[in-house]
């Protein structure tokens, strides 16, 4: 007669489960508390501005004309520029690390990418302001002269081409690359070895194997990593506060001077009081919900994708 096997957790396992459960619930409780605090402080601004808070471009607490539309527009534009630059580079870097680099180079590059995530955003902002800006201005002029027929690269006569949303997006992309590359790399590593070897055994090239096996397997991870990077870019504060004049506006002239983001505007106007402070809290609430929705969507996409399933030992 076979003896039944009972999976009885040890005391250490039970203690570890309790600790991790408490930690997870603490994070959730903290998010809820932050959300309720922002809602509580934002209510006076909503009472003054009404629904116009979401449709007004300018933000002027003195006149009571407070709106988040211009700030939200700049936030989304800078984040999309950052993701548009970072994602292709992240995919190529992850592919090189997982499928082309040797063991020694792979370890070095993995550590280097992780190290980039530890650099303070202030240093990225200072680097972009003092070093990158003089080089981006001629490049922006070249884009305007040669690709000005495309609306996003068009500029007006005599326009100033520094401290633009384009420059801010490029600098923020450097902060997005580490997290996006790490997520995509972890997904590519989990590609079933049997499928990769089968593609090579059938006479496929290395690139053919990557194109037909690795990229389809990691599609969900690429999308999820991109959206996590988007969430990172949406909340960037210090760098954009240094690189943008923080003047809310809606424009398609992305190469020109101007623009503002929610986080950068809050950082530059943190000394406000009264209804102005309530307006900043309301803008922070919008950013909080927008970023939370972005990260939640990324988690859902990753969990429903094939990425990570069927890994061969």
Summarize pLDDT for 120-158 with one digit per residue, the tens: 888 988 998 888 888 888 898 898 888 888 888 888 887
DSSP code of residue 2: P
Tell me if 67 is assigned to some domain: yes
* CATH number reported for the structural domain that contains residue 117 in this entry: 1.10.3720.10
End-to-end Cα spacing for the chain: 33
Greatest C-alpha distance within the chain: 91
Tell me if 54 is assigned to some domain: yes
Tell me if 28 is assigned to some domain: yes
For the ranges 61-70, 172-181, 282-291, the lowest mean pLDDT is seen at: 61-70
3-state SS class at 16 = helix
258: left (phi over 0), alpha (psi -120 to 50) or beta: left
- Residue 202: domain span: 20-304
User: How far is 112 from 237, CA to CA, in rounded Å?
Assistant: 24
Positive or negative, the CA dihedral 122, 171, 182, 262 is positive
Tell me if 283 is assigned to some domain: yes
Residue 310: which pLDDT band, with cuts at 50, 70 and 90? very low
* Closest to 230 in 3D by CA, of 42, 92, 79: 79
Tell me if 312 is assigned to some domain: no
The pTM assigned to this predicted structure is 0.87
3-state SS class at 78 = helix
Between 169 and 152, where is the model more confident? 169
* Closest to 246 in 3D by CA, of 39, 1, 14, 70: 70
Q: Average pLDDT in the 305-309 region?
A: 52
CB 200 within 8 A of CB 260: no
Tell me if 1 is assigned to some domain: no
CB 95 within 8 A of CB 214: yes
Tell me if 5 is assigned to some domain: no
The token duo for 27 is 């994070």
Number of domains observed in the structure of the chain: 1
User: How far is 246 from 241, CA to CA, in rounded Å?
Assistant: 7
Which tens digits make up the pLDDT trace of 190-209?
888 888 888 888 887 888 88
Measured from the Cβ of residue 297, the count of other Cβ atoms closer than 10 Å reads 16
Positive or negative, the CA dihedral 140, 141, 143, 148 is positive
Tell me if 291 is assigned to some domain: yes
For the ranges 28-32, 45-49, 81-85, the lowest mean pLDDT is seen at: 45-49
């Amino acid at each position: 007669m076979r003896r039944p096997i009972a999976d009885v957790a040890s005391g250490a396992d039970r203690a570890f489960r309790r600790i991790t459960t408490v930690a997870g619930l603490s994070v959730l409780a903290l998010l809820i508390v932050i959300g309720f605090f922002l809602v509580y402080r934002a209510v006076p601004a909503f009472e003054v501005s009404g629904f116009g808070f979401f449709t007004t471009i300018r933000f002027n607490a003195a006149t009571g004309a407070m709106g988040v539309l211009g700030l939200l527009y700049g936030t989304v534009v800078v984040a999309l520029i950052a993701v548009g630059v970072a994602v292709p580079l992240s995919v190529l870097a992850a592919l090189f690390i997982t499928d082309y680099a040797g063991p020694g180079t792979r370890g070095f590059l993995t550590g280097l990418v992780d190290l980039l995530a530890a650099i303070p955003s202030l240093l990225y902002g200072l680097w972009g302001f003092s070093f990158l800006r003089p080089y981006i201005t001629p490049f922006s002029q070249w884009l305007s002269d040669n690709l000005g027929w495309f609306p996003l690269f068009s500029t007006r006569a005599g326009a100033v081409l520094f401290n633009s949303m384009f420059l801010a997006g490029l600098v923020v992309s450097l902060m997005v690359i580490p997290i996006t590359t790490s997520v995509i790399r972890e997904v590519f590593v989990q590609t079933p070895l049997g499928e990769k070897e089968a593609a090579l055994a059938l006479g496929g090239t290395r690139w053919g194997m990557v194109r037909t096996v690795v990229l389809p397997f990691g599609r969900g991870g690429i999308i999820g990593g991109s959206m996590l990077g988007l969430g990172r870019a949406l909340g960037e504060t210090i760098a954009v506060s240094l690189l943008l004049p923080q003047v809310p506006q809606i424009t398609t002239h992305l190469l020109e001077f101007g623009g503002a983001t929610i986080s950068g505007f809050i950082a530059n106007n943190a000394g406000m009081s009264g209804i102005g402070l309530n307006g900043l809290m309301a803008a922070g609430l919008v950013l909080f919900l927008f970023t939370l929705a972005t990260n939640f969507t990324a988690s859902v996409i990753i969990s429903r994708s094939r990425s990570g399933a069927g890994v061969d030992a």
